Structure 1
Amino acid sequence: MVQRGLKNVVAAETSISLVDGENGQLIYRGYDVKELALNYSFEEITYLLWYGHLPNSKEHHQFSVLLSNNRVLPPYVYQVIEALPNDMNMMSQIRTAVSALGVKEFSWKPHIEQAIRLTAAIPTITAMIYRKISGKEIIPPNLELYHVENYLYMLTGELPSFTHVKALEAYMILTMEHGMNASTFASRVVSSTESDMVSAVTGAIGAMKGPLHGGAPTGVIDMLNEIKEKEHAERWIRRKLEKKEYLMGFGHRVYKTCDPRAEVLSTICQRIGQDDAWLNLAGYVEKMAILLLNEYKPGRKLYTNVEFYAAAVMKALNMSPDLFTPTFTVSRMVGWTAHVIEQSLDNTIFRPEARYIGNQPVEC
């Protein structure tokens, strides 16, 4: 029987993460992602995914310095970015710039030093391309800032608030890894040919560009924009449900219960939402929507998915929709590189079969 899209086909073994859709769990290296996103930094969770354990304070400091010291791009990559046309899709520009990093140091077997170089470089690449397209002066990286803080600084040219850094950091921790998704599978397929890490993540970026995988959650932003105020939420949602229209940001094809990533972002937004009107509105709309979904669709168990709070966080940060998928890419670079390294440690080339359904040979 043909399993279209390889659905439910186990193609690899991994110790990096577990996506448990039935029980609503996402596990990184044996740790529940809820605990990690609420209590640790981007650097600490990156270290966990690459090295297999959480860092102590000395390791955390040394690793953070190493990551920040690799933010500066080689001069020729700046030239490549400057030469790319502004009407070229932003993800295509990112893919091209990342590909340009593939110098001799990446010709060896994948290892963590290469992962550090790519993960440190991609926020710089993304911010540079965004500001170039926007007609703004390019901001060089600030080596004194942490990873997420520096990314926001390079996008805006201003030091971000603590509230915004914590919201984006939680989002990026929650999206840096998610099992054998399309882009991660693409990276492992390329790596399985014993190609280099840059080629593998370039393939992953190409997969992420597709709207079925890395599509921006603009529908959620449209919904929140239309609701505008808390007092409008119930009436707006009821009208949607009575028309049997889809409520954006609710339900997930993998998680059959609460999406753990959405749960964490909801908690983060409750902690800091009082300081941000948009996050405050999003938290209220979530509660009202779940209440009404249970009323209109009893037994369906429709909960908030990560897309809902991704939209809320991005909007609170005043991020252009053009930055949604690129920011997802900035975080997922950690997971891709972890999988490329794991693939190289016990490699078998991916070579599935295809059933031929074309014409048989015709006799002359």
Structure 2
Amino acid sequence: MQKGLKGIVATETSISFIDGDNGRLVYRGYEINDLANKYCFEEVAYLLWYGQFPNDVELKILKEELQKNRHLTPYQIEILNNLPTNMEMMSVLRTIISSEGTSEYSWKPTISQAIKLTAIIPTIIAYRKRKLDGKPFVPPRDNLNHVENYLYMLNGTEPQSAQVTSLESYMILTLEHGMNASTFSARVTASTESDLVSAITSAIGTMKGPLHGGAPSGVIDLLNEISSDGDTEKVIRNKLNQKEKLMGFGHRVYITHDPRSIALKQTLLKLIGEDKWLDLAVEVEKCAIRLLEEYKPGRKLYTNVEFYAAAIMKSINLDPSLFTPTFTASRIVGWTSHVIEQAEDNTLYRPQSLYIGKFINETVKF
């Protein structure tokens, strides 16, 4: 028996491949390094949904469909205006996405449905955040691409190109990551022939848990401390001497370099000198890996995707409450791809459990 189904193969997929031993992540046959540094969010989303890259016409149509579906409905605005102020953002997303569950989303799920849900999530986040901050809602703009529009709605001004580039790379790298907890949750719900909205609501509820979608707040704290102190090596040595865990290093799946971290670093190296937090992250990684090898030789502790994600969140001044929702705004593409794949050759998930309780009637024989 494997608790939590760890290591158990539950399905076949052609969406992504993870090789933790060798540090590989592949979307539809393409290495993640190539995807993050050569393509835009919309192109990689198209790849995951359709299994191939779009031509110019297909890309234009996808962008137009995303733009068309960015706008909140009157009833969604009414719900958002009446939600309690102490409801966290992931619960807000779960509630508003659930309100999408009309007869339009009947079995089987479609790519058009997936595009609609993907398009609306950034608008939900931006509307809620600006309302909590006492700021007017900034409507989406149809002449901006998906990631650029997200930043525009949050801040009310067009973002700098470095901010768009870094966040877009992060969102491409987190679109999909195999049979993780939230993806499994979505596929289990879909296996009952429930609708796409129900499957994605399940996934959001799973992502909300800190063991899965937890924000890289520990990395933020590390970067803040080093920035204030001014001595990277001193801060890291102090932490290692006190046996503290160095946040942003090591991963439960990858026993070597996290390929998403490598791809994100390649993007950020092109932006050196454009943002102090991105510059600091590159410096901290170099020092930390050297010291980790000194203090923990042979452990192969390298940066994970959360490390550079934290630097990006700092560079675009994203509030910590938006870290997991932003992760959700990208992972929605992977979730919907898996739900559509599940529907193509569906089998109801029905694992067994091992009973370890008592038998009151001891005469029962098995």
How high is the TM-score relative to the length of structure 1?
0.98
Q: Which amino acid aligns with 2:8?
A: V
Q: Displacement of 1:230 after TM fit?
A: 8.8
- Post-superposition offset of 1:361: 2.3
Partners of 2:101 and 2:205 lie apart in 1 by 16
- Partner residue, 1:278: 277
Q: For 2:150 and 2:39, locate their aligned partners in 1 and report how far apart those are by CA, in whole Å.
A: 18
Deviation at 1:229, TM superposition (A): 6.3
The yes-or-no answer on 1:213 pairing with 2:216 is no
CA distance in 2 between partners of 1:24 and 1:108 (Å): 37
Instruction: Give the match for residue 82 of structure 1.
Output: 81
Q: Give the CA deviation at 1:138.
A: 1.2
Moved over 3 A (4+): none
Q: Secondary structure at the match of 1:275?
A: coil
* Structure 1 residue 156 corresponds to structure 2 residue 155: yes
Q: CA deviation at 1:231?
A: 4.9
Q: Percent identity?
A: 60
- Inter-partner Cα distance in structure 2 for 1:166 and 1:230: 29
Q: Which residue of 2 aligns with 1:53?
A: 52
Partner of 2:349: 350
- Asked if the contact 1:230–1:284 (Cα under 8 Å) also holds between the matched residues in 2, the reply is no
2-structure distance, mates of 1:172, 1:200: 21
What's the CA shift for 1:59?
Answer: 1.4
Contact 1:86–1:132 (Cα < 8 Å) also in 2? no
Question: What is the rounded CA distance, in whole Å, between the counterparts of 1:53 and 1:363 in structure 2?
Answer: 60
1 CA distance for matches of 2:125 and 2:341? 26
Q: 2 CA distance for matches of 1:134 and 1:215?
A: 23
Aligned mates of 2:141, 2:272 — CA distance in 1: 27
Aligned residue pair count: 363
Secondary structure (helix, strand or coil) at the match of 1:245 reads: coil
Q: Is the 8 A contact 2:70 2:123 kept in 1?
A: yes
**1:191 partnered with 2:190:** yes
The 3 A distance-change label for structure 1 pair 231 and 77 is closer
Residue 223 in 1 paired to residue 225 in 2?
A: no
Alpha-carbon separation, structure 1, partners of 2:57 and 2:11: 34
Structure 2: give runs of 5+ residues left out of the alignment: none
1:334-349 matched pairs, under 5 angstroms:
334-349=333-348
Cα root mean square deviation, aligned: 1.3
Q: Which residue of 2 is the match for residue 289 of structure 1?
A: 288
TM-score (normalizing by structure 2): 0.97
| SS of the residue 1:72 aligns to | coil
Tell me which residue corresponds to 2:257. Answer: 258
Q: Name the counterpart of 2:303.
A: 304
Aligned to 1:179: 178
Post-superposition CA distance 1:157-183 (Å, at most 9, x none): 110010000000000000010000000
Task: Name the SS for the 1:193 alignment partner.
Answer: coil
Kindly state the Cα deviation for residue 201 of structure 1 after the two structures are TM-superposed.
0.2
Answer whether contact 1:274 1:280 (CA < 8 A) is retained.
yes
Q: How many Å apart are 1:108 and its aligned residue?
A: 3.3
What is the deviation of 1:90?
A: 1.3
Deviation of the 1:79 alpha carbon? 1.0
In structure 1, the residue matched to 2:325 is 326
**Pairwise CA distance, 1:136:** 1.7
- Matched-pair contact (CA < 8 Å) for 1:94–1:129: no
